[in-house]
């Protein structure tokens, strides 16, 4: 295993640890039954204080048997009243955000949180949330959206979609190769257009939002011809559309030829490479064996019907759905990965720094330039390493994405900059993490159903984020009387009691360097 693979694996493992921090089951709450009629049948959800929830709603058929590695098919209806008071299974994945992982392929379900007062006669804006997790882990049910729904007066839909090899396998004889997870997201959006009115949502006012791999999924849907008309606005959090496979911490896509080669390797690993009917053989392989054999890196494939071009190329060419976009990143995106890699036994000192950089940038010229631009002195190796990961993978690609999108559509950019964001990992880190990857999520959701552990000032910041996000979902403009004005030509720095628009990000990133590095 190469050093690059070791460090990338450690980074993915850290992401799983971050996810595990919010993986506890939601607490039981007193609830009264409530019933909604959909085209599939009657659903019984639960009433709470100021909102209702409907969980585990099938939006597509179980992708099992011949439907494994097939485009999503319509879900079957049901007789009687279906219980929607608890989440369904997460899609198959290794242990991490989902304790013990999951091997249940019957997972194409979504969850709806709707505020009191939202009715078919008085519909509210809709936010459809796509979870992160590197296209390998995650579940819509991890995101308790009741604060967003009640404070923002919006209907929130959280979605499961196929992950890992089950979501992104490619094979020359397989229609939809490399994009099954993205096709699931589109099926969920079609369900929303058709059904959300019964829950008090406005089917004509849908915002597609996501973080990390979920944010990159929004980029892919912006560039996908088959997503036309499925959403009206977009929110991209820490998932810049210009991600590249050679910058391995941010999500990206790969050519179909690369995805097919990965699929062939998987087939050989599980004993199907020389089978007379490779696909039939693969469809008989146990889920746990597929999970053990799949690559740690998962990417959607482009040069496909759903995704004809790399989203970066499509957006650079102006070939995307021209909808308003709210886009941003966290100031210290890379610090969590840097801390995890250091804790796993890779010290970052002035002596080891050139070798660490070379593991990620095999070009000797690039590696030497990075060491010069980001020198390590004394004990600052962790923050310097974090800055390289954050600038190369998130901050600077986000700035480029914003520039490309804003040439054709309204764009609002932010930087989440709470230097004291609550840690998402147990135990003390080797250095202060600041505002690392995913640290904005507890300000928008109760993760795993647990109440947020925020100070009074951080609670005010959480309210500010929800206000901006939901006003944008409602009107395509985040501005309102209760928050500082956010001009489109600026970056909004979001920190407790210090939310201000700036001409550049709150604290400088070396984007000119990365733009010149190539």
Which positions are catalytic?
A: 212, 333, 437
Residue 270 main-chain phi, psi, to 5 deg = -95, 10
Give the CA distances from residue 468 to residues 81, 143, 240, 482, in Å, rounded to whole numbers and listed in that order: 37, 19, 20, 10
Instruction: Give the whole-angstrom CA distance, residue 19 versus residue 95.
Output: 10
Instruction: Give the whole-angstrom CA distance, residue 501 versus residue 511.
Output: 19
Instruction: Give the whole-angstrom CA distance, residue 107 versus residue 57.
Output: 10
b/e per residue 8-23 (b: at least 16 CB within 10 A): bebbbbbbbbbbbbbb
103 within 8 A of 72, measured Cβ to Cβ: no
Helix (H) / strand (E) element for 441: namely helix 441-444
- Closest Cα to residue 35, out of 23, 52, 13? 52
Residues in a beta bridge with 469: none
**For residue 493, what are the contacts with CB-CB under 8 A and spacing of at least 6?**
414, 415, 417, 499, 500, 501, 502, 505, 506
How far does CA 329 lie from the centroid of its chain? 12
């Amino acid at each position: 295993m190469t050093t690059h693979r070791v460090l990338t694996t450690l980074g993915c493992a850290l992401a799983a640890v971050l996810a595990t921090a919010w993986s506890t089951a939601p607490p039981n709450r007193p609830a009264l039954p409530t019933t909604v009629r959909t085209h599939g049948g009657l659903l019984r959800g639960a009433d709470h204080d100021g909102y209702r929830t409907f969980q585990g709603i099938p939006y597509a058929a179980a992708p099992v048997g011949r439907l494994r590695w097939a485009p999503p098919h319509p879900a079957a209806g049901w007789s009687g009243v279906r219980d929607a008071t608890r989440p369904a299974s997460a899609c198959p994945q290794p242990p991490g955000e989902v304790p013990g992982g999951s091997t249940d392929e019957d997972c194409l379900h979504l969850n709806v949180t709707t505020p009191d007062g939202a009715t078919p006669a008085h519909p509210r804006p809709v936010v459809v949330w796509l979870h992160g997790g590197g296209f390998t882990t995650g579940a819509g049910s991890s995101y308790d959206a009741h604060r967003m729904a009640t404070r923002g007066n919006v209907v929130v839909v959280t979605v499961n979609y196929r992950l890992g090899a089950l979501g992104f396998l490619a094979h020359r004889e397989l229609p939809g190769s490399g994009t099954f997870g993205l096709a699931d997201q589109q099926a969920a959006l079609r369900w929303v257009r058709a059904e959300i009115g019964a829950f008090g949502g406005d089917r004509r006012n849908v915002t597609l939002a996501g973080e990390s791999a979920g944010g990159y999924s929004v980029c892919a849907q912006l560039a996908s011809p088959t997503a036309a008309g499925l959403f009206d606005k977009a929110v991209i959090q820490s998932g810049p559309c210009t991600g590249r496979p050679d910058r391995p911490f941010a999500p990206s896509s790969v050519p179909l030829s690369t995805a097919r080669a990965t699929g062939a390797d998987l087939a050989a690993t599980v004993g199907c490479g020389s089978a007379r009917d490779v696909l039939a053989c693969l469809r008989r392989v146990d889920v746990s064996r597929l999970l053990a054999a799949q690559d740690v890196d998962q990417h959607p494939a482009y040069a496909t019907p759903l995704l004809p071009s790399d989203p970066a190329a499509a957006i650079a060419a102006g070939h995307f759905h021209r909808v308003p976009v709210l886009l941003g990143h966290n100031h210290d995106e890379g610090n969590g990965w840097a801390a995890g890699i250091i804790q796993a036994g890779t010290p970052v000192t002035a002596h080891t720094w050139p070798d660490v950089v070379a593991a990620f940038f095999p070009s000797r010229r690039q590696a030497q330039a990075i060491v010069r631009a980001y020198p390590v002195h004394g004990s600052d190796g962790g923050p310097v390493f974090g800055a390289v990961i954050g600038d190369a993978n998130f901050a600077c690609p986000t700035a480029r994405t914003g520039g490309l999108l804003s040439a054709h559509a309204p764009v609002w950019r932010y930087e989440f900059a709470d230097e004291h964001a609550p840690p998402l990992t147990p135990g003390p880190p080797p250095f202060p993490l600041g505002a690392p990857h995913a640290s904005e999520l507890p300000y928008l959701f109760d993760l795993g159903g647990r109440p947020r552990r925020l100070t009074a000032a951080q609670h005010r910041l959480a309210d500010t984020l929800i206000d901006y996000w939901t006003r944008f979902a409602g009107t395509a403009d985040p501005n309102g009387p209760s928050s500082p004005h956010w001009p489109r030509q600026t970056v909004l720095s979001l920190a407790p009691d210090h939310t201000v628009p700036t001409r550049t990000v709150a604290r400088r990133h070396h984007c000119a360097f990365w733009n010149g590095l190539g």
